[in-house]
Amino acid sequence: MPALPLHHYLIVGAILFALGLIGFLARRNLIIMFLCVEMMLQGVSINFAAFARYRGNLQGQAFILFIVTVAACEAAIALALILMLFRRHHSLDVSKWQELREPGEEPTEDVEPLPPAPREPPLPHLTPSGVEPEHRAEESHV
Amino acid sequence: MPQLLLLLLALPLATAIAVALLGPGRAVAVRWVSLASVLASLLLATIMSIQFAIERAWETPSVDATKAPLTFHSDWIKYQTRENMLPLHTAANGTVDSAIQFYVGIDGLNVWLILLTALLMLTSVLVSWTAITERVNEFHAWLFVLQLGMTGVFASFDVILFYVFFELTLVPLFFVIGIWGGPQRQYAARKFFIYTLAGSLITLLGVIGVALILPQVEQDRDPSQSPRLTFAIPELIGRVDALNRELPRDVRQFQRDPADMESNLKQARDRLEYWRRVQLWVFVAMMCGFAIKVPMFPLHTWLPLAHVEAPTAGSVLLAGILLKLGTYGFLRLSVPLAPDAALRFGVPVLGSLAVVGIIYGAFCSLGQDDIKKLVAYSSVSHLGLCMLGLFALNEVGLTGGLLQMVNHGLSTGALFLLVGMLYERYHTRKMDDYGGMATRLHRLAVLMVFITLSSIGLPGLNGFLGELLTLGGMYDFSGSQVQGTLLASLGATGVVLGAWYMLTMVRQVFFGPLKEPRHEGHGLIGDLNGRELAALLPVAGLCLALGVFPKPFFNSVRPEIQVVAGIAEAARKRADSEQIIAHTEDIQQAAAAPEKK
Amino acid sequence: MSDVRPFLWLIPALPLTAAVVTGVFGPRLLRRHSHWPCILAGAGACVVSLMTFLAVHHGIRDFVVSHEGGASSQEADPHPHQISVYYEWIKVGDPGAGRGMEVGFALNADALSAMMVLMVTFVGTLIAIYSVGYMHDDEGYARFFAEVSLFLFMMTTLVLADNFILLYLGWEGVGLCSYLLVGFWFTKPSAAAAARKAFLVTRIGDMGLLLGILLLWSRFGHHLDYQHIFNHVERARQAGTLDYGLLTTACLLLLCGAVGKSAQFPLHVWLPDAMEGPTPVSALIHAATMVTAGVYLIARCTPLFMLAPDAQVVVATLGATSALLTALIALTQNDLKRVLAYSTISQLGYMFLALGSGARSAGEAFVTFAVLAAMFHLFTHAFFKALLFLSAGSVMHAMGGVIDMRRFSGLRKVLPRTHWTFLCGAGALSGFPLLSGFWSKDEILDAAWTAGNHADRYASWYLLLWLVGLITAGLTAFYTFRAYFMTFWGEERVPQEAYAHHHGHTAHGETPQLESPPVMTIPLMILAIFALGVGGVLGPTHLFGGFVAHTPGLPPPEHESLNFTMMLVSSLVALGGIGLAWLMYVRQPDLPARMARSAQGLYQLSLNKFHIDELYDAFILAPLAGLTTFLRIFDLYVLDGLVDLTGHLFRWLGVRFRPVQNGLVQFYALAMVLGLTVFLIALVSKM
């Protein structure tokens, strides 16, 4: 099988990486940004695979295994974090989180704010069963 | 017996840890442990210095200044320990051929300073006995870390080790000033720390610079040589000296030999030019840290502040030892590692600044009404004198400079002690608050007058010898870079001004009608007690002993001083001959010019 | 007997031991007996000095005998001197090879130092004995004797030193003792101020001395002992390589030190103030011994000064100026001790005049003659001035501490012994014919006159100086006897303070005995005998000159005959001065006041010491104080401000960059990417 020359793979990797980079810088949705990062990782992985194949050793492959594993772990943690963040502000807009700026600096105002997130339809509730527990009066701690 | 010096280094470290672990509750135990430790250190240091002095008295290594390369010969360094600490490069056969070394020892330049450190540590512990009541264990722990740093700087023979210890002294003093200091302690501590740190970082640059560039230039000159990296001071100095002699010789040789290629001559000239530039920058870089530490005239403003805010023990060690790190650095590193730059740049610049510092410091002292500030500014003046001697670059001046370091440590250390004792009694340092204290505090007054006399250079006490030799050395300066006579004559005004401000202080505080500051709740103010006398008398005794019988000192420092003086002398000869060559070239060109027309 | 080297160290060592013993044990153990170590040590040192003196004398006699005997004079040394080197004090570098410094702790007994040390120890011992009475109820009794002993140590070291550095040790040491003793009653603000002033003003001169020593060391062969320096200079002179300009500079610098120590114009201001110290101290330090150190130094350095005629003229001019100026001031002072203090400056000025007159162009023998004149005056002056001070102290002691002459008079009946001893001293000081001062002052005038007639370049100047000297002689006689008449003649008045400490004794209503105890008056009488006779015995008989002329370095003298014309002139001047004083203060006591009114300006000028202190205050001290204040502020706000400014610069820069830290993740990411891009571009473009 006539092998494709190395630079083809590299170009694909670079394109993937660039797309991911642009996405990361341009999009404001946290989940999409996260996916863009994953895409950059994949671009790098392709480079690794290409070079591993090109040089005929397995070092690059080993790296890819690591990347994939780490990416999976990352995804778990990142999505959990994103979920937590969403619960705070009910938004996935990354610019909502700028509390780590220098104290005293004005927050950056959004010149074109995102449209408000559509209100989710309420989830259906099941009627609770059993006896309602007794409510005890709050004790004063003053 | 290299163990003795190692023990002297290990003892403070062990004591620091032990004292810190004792906890804040057991102040009495902390004090006694500290006292035992400093006494042991003093004993060790005394044994070593006496043994060293005796050895030197029997057999002084002779130095032939004409024979290159000059360096502090490794055989002269007693109590030597030399271990590879951080290997940088391993040769093919597995031996380490370049490494940062743990290289410590005692030679003529540091033996007296190490003894001085141990002595002043004793006084510091004694003077803190009642003055420090809060966080006693921490205070003493920091004090011992400081001792480790100070002893380490003096004992190091490896530039990196030197630098590590040099910086190590900053940390404990920062805390000592910042926690147990006066009302402005945090400002003072921060300023002291940042100022000196900024300077010494540049020093590190210079030190590393010379160690890295030296092998390159050597290899460039002689490609058969493999570049060897070293940080050991004796080796570095020897190689720098050799290179300093060889590069101009190359130029001359190529000049003399017409068969040689013109390009060879040009290369040799370029190499010499490059090396001179490197030396200049190395010198300037090292100067930054050392001059701030000394402190030289325009860079001294951290000193009065730090002194005034520091607790007595801190002031004593700061004035007595830490300022010497700067002058010692000049003597041990700057001059031998960059002799040409020291001569061409250092002598005019630092010599003049030293003179300015002498006069300026004296006048500032005169204008103070805070006794401690007065003494602090007097340090600027005295260390100016010390620098004047060092940058005379001859044997008399260098010996005087080294002696002046010890003198200043003793007399100014004792002055700070006395001021601290006065402050502990009356809680004021304003001169105007006092008067006629001699009627109330006999012993304190007598010792104050005695130390004052030592400080203003009364013959028969140590200060005079320092003044005589430093001024004499500069008077005898033989290069064309500065008018040594003029500088020495201006510096001699310090003799009068020093007497002026010190005696004004003595008159104001101790003479005249009795005027005691208000002191509530301290009961009757007593004269010096046994503990305070024990802190002061050894210092005073050493002042007298050094003044009357300085021979052991002179004998023991001679070979190393001769080495430094020899290196500088060679630089002076080079400078003179180059001047002559440049002059004759000018004449030749002038003679050749009309012919062309 | 002829070798005193094994004992020489005793001369300084005995007083030093006494000082240490008294200082350590005095206040606790010795208490009222604290004077014994000092007196015994002084007497012991005096005995050893006498032995030294005799040994040197022996050497001179040997030389004279062998010289007159004929050719076999190899053995005998024309300048017998004995040097003991005790240990190597300073040795740095390689002095043999012309770089480095070597100073031995070495004592040298030659004719000059033997004479001086004998005088110092003798007068010192007498004054110590006198002090037993004078200081008897003082709190600091032990301290006083410890300091006096220390002074004797320093002074003998100064005199016996064989090199300039040891001399400087003694020189500064006596300055220290002067400081301590002037400030003896340190609770008195004026005493504390005077002590500091004395030390500082002399220190200005000492700076010159130190520089002069360094100059001699650095440019004349890297030696510090007299003999080597003198030999080096002499060799250079013979080889024609001597740099006369440098030598003159060195001499002028040495002169600075001498001027400071000997309280000559313009550094004379400290001596009158130094009278705040106890009177025995004024007698010992500020009249007989320490202040003559400057004269001794210049006499010692004659081999240098005689090669520097320009420096010599300066010496003579300063001397004559001081002599005249302070004599004029002394005319109107009312404080008895101050009169004597100004008179001391004036007499020291005489000695400088003599030293400066020794112009080599008038013959080498004349140089020696002039030096001998100065040293002879120094010698006689030590006795009669110590006597005068001690007598004044006796008066002060009797008057309960009052020394203002306007408050007492007619004391010759009250204090008969003091009166006679004072009269002896006053006669000697004013140059009354045949008393000590007469002979020595006459030689000085003779020296100045000879210089005026023989010195080539400055002859007319020296004649002027001679005239100044002559006028001063008259003034001296006048003010001395003015003080004498004011104190001891006129109606008998005794201030109240005199009886203050006699209350216990006056229980029976009899007039209290005010005269001082024998322990004070006996030294006075001994000194009085010397003041009367020493000049006549040693001067015209050439005993003194014949001895001191054998000092190494002095050219051989000629046997000068006495100049009877000069004697007649100076006698007339002295008698005229005394007569005028008698006329004004005994015959017509209202005359002085009328004269003061008629010459109000001059009178005020003299009374206010020509405003020299005020001039120094206004033109030196005030600007320096201003500079001090300026520098303090400059240091605190400008220099330190610059340092703080550097800190603030970085803080300011940091503030500029704060908005960059805006908390936006994507902004940070963009910055990273941009940074990476720049880095990559740099990397690629470099390839």
CA-CA distance, B488 to B405, in Å (whole number)? 18
For chain B, percent of residues with pLDDT exceeding 90 = 50
Q: What is the pTM of this model?
A: 0.88
For chain B, percent of residues with pLDDT exceeding 70 = 97
Section C659-679 average pLDDT: 90
Q: Which of C265, C255, C151, C170 is nearest to C213 (CA)?
A: C255
Chain C nearest CA to A105, separation (Å): 7
Residue scoring higher pLDDT (B304 or C77): B304
Q: Are C375 and C112 in contact (CB under 8 A)?
A: yes
B565-591 pLDDT, tens digit per residue, is: 989 988 888 888 887 777 777 777 777
In this complex, which of C658, C664, C669 lies closest to A24 when CB atoms are compared?
Answer: C669
C656, pLDDT greater than 50: yes
In this complex, which of C188, C189, C631 lies closest to B360 when CB atoms are compared?
Answer: C631
Helix pair angle (B262-293, B233-256), 10° resolution? 150
What is the band of A17 on the pLDDT scale with cuts at 50, 70, 90? very high
C208, pLDDT greater than 90: yes
Q: Which of B389, B218, B56 is nearest to C214 (CA)?
A: B389
pLDDT value, residue C507: 45
Chain C nearest CA to A119, separation (Å): 26
CA-CA distance, C35 to C524, in Å (whole number)? 18
Section C163-192 average pLDDT: 91
What do you get for the CA distance between the two ends of chain A, in Å?
A: 82
Chain A nearest CA to C662, separation (Å): 4
Asked if the C-beta of B471 comes within 8 angstroms of chain C's C-beta atoms, the answer is yes
pLDDT value, residue B258: 66
C337, pLDDT greater than 50: yes
pLDDT value, residue B545: 92
Nearest residue of C to residue A25, measured between CA atoms: C666
C75, pLDDT greater than 70: no
Q: Can you state the percent helix, strand and coil of chain C, rounding each to 5?
A: 75, 5, 20
Q: Which residues contact C404 (CB under 8 A, 6 or more apart)?
A: C334, C335, C336
Q: Kindly list the partner chains of chain C, i.e. chains with 3 or more CB atom pairs below 8 Å.
A: A, B
Average pLDDT of chain B, as a whole number: 88
Check CB contact under 8 Å for B475 and C214: yes
Check CB contact under 8 Å for B512 and C169: no
Tell me which of A33, A97, A102 to substitute to probe the interface with C (most C C-beta atoms closer than 10 Å): A102
* Chain C residues within an 8 Å CB radius of A29: none
pLDDT value, residue C63: 82
The mean-pLDDT minimum among B414-423, B431-440, C40-49, C194-203 falls in: B431-440
* ipTM attached to this prediction: 0.91
Q: Residue-wise over C493-527: b if at least 16 C-beta within 10 A, else e? A: ebeeebbeeeeeeeeeeeeeebbbeeebbebbebb
C102-138 pLDDT, tens digit per residue, is: 888 889 888 899 999 999 999 999 999 999 988 888 8
CA-CA distance, B393 to B340, in Å (whole number)? 11
Q: Which of C312, C321, C268, C299 is nearest to C465 (CA)?
A: C321
The mean-pLDDT minimum among A103-107, B24-28, C157-161, C570-574 falls in: A103-107
Range among B404-408, C76-80, C237-241 rated most confident? B404-408
Chain B nearest CA to C647, separation (Å): 9
CA-CA distance, B308 to B376, in Å (whole number)? 8
- Nearest-5° angle of CA B282, CA B288, CA B289? 105
C608, pLDDT greater than 50: yes
**Cβ neighbours of B541 (radius 10 Å):** 11
Check CB contact under 8 Å for A97 and C673: no
Tokens of C546: 């014949």
Section C268-283 average pLDDT: 90
pLDDT value, residue C503: 47
B455-509 pLDDT, tens digit per residue, is: 998 998 999 999 999 999 999 888 777 888 899 999 999 888 999 999 999 998 9
Q: Which of A74, A79, A105, A108 is nearest to A92 (CA)?
A: A79
What is the band of C154 on the pLDDT scale with cuts at 50, 70, 90? very high
Q: Which of B312, B311, B333, B422 is nearest to B72 (CA)?
A: B333
pLDDT value, residue C121: 93
